[in-house]
A and B are shown apart, each in its own frame.
Chain A
Amino acid sequence: MRFAFTEDQRMLAATVAETLAKSCPPALVRAARTDPAVRRGDAWAALAGLGLLGATVPEDQGGLGLTPLDTVLAWVEVGRACVPGPLVETAVAAPLLLPKGSPWLERIAAGEAAVSVRCAENPYLLDADVADLLLLPEEATASPVALDSADGTRRLFTVAGETAPGGTAADHASVAVSAQLLGLGDHLLDAAVAYAAQRRQFGKAIGSFQAVKHLLADVAVGLRFAEPLVHRAAYSLAHPGPVPGSPGEAGSSQRPGTGPHGYSPDIARDVSAAKVAVAEAAHRAARVALQVHGAIGYTDELDLHLWLSRVWALVPAWGDPGFHRARMRAALLAAR
């Protein structure tokens, strides 16, 4: 048993971070509010170039054939950089919803196609205006209707008709969104810590005041303990099948989870636990980052609010906290 990532997994995340530092500066995120092309512009191309857009696409269709465990750290970096565009929909949900062998898969991996997805866990079509393909339940009709998003870098659309449940694709998307929330929260904490060290009042850095310190310490505690839940959710997605060593299965290792608290794959519980915890931690990070910045944080001038509004956009995306809490309740209490 070893709860740690491989060198390859860490390397992919580091490469994504390095690339985004160049290809997705705050000015680009800001530009996404007015210029639709930005939402699938330079940063999109950079991520496609690294293989992240085709990470889950099979290798024979131009992808990398990676698991959620291989990419979860990279999605944290996408969140940290606040990258705009329907990335999760295209790179995570669509490959699972499209039929095997669909020519769209190759286009996704090549960074040529953007996809928007609608299902029960995700009733709004994200950035349908820049998508090449809309994945909708069959019953959905009419053309998309644009709505204002809390995050000015995103465009939300709705269509008339039913929403089908999202199933596996929704769980995978939810974990990628959870990872992004972790990265957003970490960026907000870093930004607040940096500001607190530099902003002076009463002749001292505000970061030396204990009230400010304790607010930030609590943000750190929240994020650090949401983190392993996100990692474990990715692990559960990557290991959905029969557990090794169970009857009829080859393999020498014993069935996990034979202990009272040993690992037992329960995807719904693990995905929902991650989303609930990280949504709370990121929300706290956002509130505290704003508080620590004071009035300057409340301006459009400062970039901080780009990250704040992304948190507020992602907390309800791919399963709002109420949906995920209900799933946890069902998974944990029904068993008793």
Chain B
Amino acid sequence: MDLTFTPAQEALRAEVREWLAANVPAEPLPSMDTAEGFARHREWERSLAAARLSVPTWPAEYGGRGAGLVEWLICEEEYWASGAPGRVSQNGIFLLAPTVLHWGTPEQKARFLPKMATAEEVWAQAWSEPESGSDLASLRATATPDGDGWRLSGQKTWSSRAVFADWGFGLFRSDPASERHHGLTYYLFPLDAPGITVRPIAQLDGETGFAEIFFDDVYVPASQVLGGVGKGWSVAMATTSSERGLTLRSPGRFMAVADRLLALAAESGDRTLQDAAVGAWSDADAYRLYTWAAVARLEEGIELGPASSLMKTFWSELDLKLHELALALRGPAAALADRWMDGFLFALAGPIYAGTNEIQRNIIAERVLGLPR
């Protein structure tokens, strides 16, 4: 075990820190769930990409640096500690890209990844349907063959930032006789394709953070099938593992919140809350260390597998705990609609998206512990 960083890693840290200090907008950007905020976030990510910091682990040809996971963690720590804006392109970069890198054809990689890295094309995830939430395998949206391509029909919902995004990725039933997770195919489609209607849905903070997507005979060429016809489920499962585990929620994000929480706690006279805040900081630290250990295992060639459900359960509850404690520590000021309240509202969604925590607990029980179904 060696918890020191190499000179190259320290140099990267210094470079990233310096760049962020010089470039992070002084004023927080408007919410990315507004038209103006979305545009400003896109602009920010373009500058991040110009510094080759938007996707450090990708190969250089797609805009990355070919960095390892430890280097990625360093970048993430510095990113969140600097107070930089949330990533408007996170669905593409953290959820779709690992799948494209693994399953995509060379043409698909070259076509989609560079534009994702620069946020020229921002992606939305279209998995959930009104009747298929936790039970995603029951999905009903269809894909029918049409010449060299496919026709998509049906409805998707809760699609984050689909209102402003450029492209979507989703699962459709390509074999009408199929059931459950068989006969599904993974498609990529531009959200302005003829036949697509995006209806914004306001979230509980009033902003249109997600949307319904209606597909009325939308044509998609065969080149936009990801990972093979009928293979949708296994291709998609590769994405859920990144969504729940390592990449979507890096420890840097929670450490930054935990540090801000300690600053609040230091000013409090309430011992009980202070202890709780210190405990929550330690939980964030535990998540960081768990991630380091996970990175070491990945480097040994051991897959994360269902352990990503342990991570998802832990980080989502950690985020909520950090914000609940912050509100408690702020006293009357907790009533203000500010950064802590925004963070709290976002944290509330954590146990719901990326597979609810009830579903994660089922996965842990059955696939980690081996309990009967």
Contacts and interface: CB of A to CB of B under 8 A. Distances in A.
B96 to A, nearest CB: 28
Interface in A126-145: none
A221 B364 contact: yes
Interface in A269-301: 273, 276-277
B310 A262 contact: no
B292 A1 contact: yes
B255 A216 contact: no
A258 B5 CA distance: 9
Contacts of B266: 333, 336
B3 A254 contact: no
A212 B358 CA distance: 12
A224 B9 contact: no
A259 B358 contact: no
B283 A225 contact: yes
B365 A221 contact: no
A3 B293 contact: yes
Interface residues of B, number: 63
Contact of B4 (A196, A253, A325, A333): A253
A260 interface: yes
B300 A4 contact: yes
B74 A259 contact: yes
Interface in A200-216: 204-205, 207-208, 210, 212-214, 216
Nearest to B16: A259
Interface string B1-36: 111111101100110010000000000000000000
Nearest to A222: B314
Nearest to A196: B371
A256 interface: yes
B331 interface: no
A278 to B, nearest CB: 10
Given A3-B289, A208-B371, A336-B266, A235 B3 contact: yes
B275 interface: yes
Given A193-B369, A213-B361, A332-B278, A225 B6 contact: no
A261 interface: yes
A260 B4 contact: no
A198 to B, nearest CB: 10
Chain A residues touching B, majority SS: helix
Contact of A258 (B13, B255, B279, B290): B13
Given A216-B369, A224-B290, A332 B5 contact: no
Chain B residues touching A, majority SS: helix
A221 B306 CA distance: 12
A259 B13 contact: yes
Contact of B289 (A213, A231, A258): A231
B81 A213 contact: no
Interface of A: 1-6, 69, 189, 193, 196-197, 204-205, 207-208, 210, 212-214, 216-218, 220-221, 224-229, 231-232, 235, 239, 243-245, 252-254, 256, 258-263, 273, 276-277, 325, 328-329, 332-333, 336
11 contacts: A1-B4, A1-B6, A3-B3, A4-B297, A196-B371, A235-B1, A253-B6, A254-B6, A261-B77, A262-B5, A325-B278
Can you list the 6 inter-chain pairs with the closest CB atoms, starting with the nearest?
A213-B365, A228-B289, A3-B292, A4-B296, A217-B364, A336-B266
Given A196-B371, A217-B362, A253-B7, 9 more contacts: A2-B70, A208-B373, A217-B313, A228-B292, A258-B5, A258-B13, A263-B3, A273-B282, A277-B282
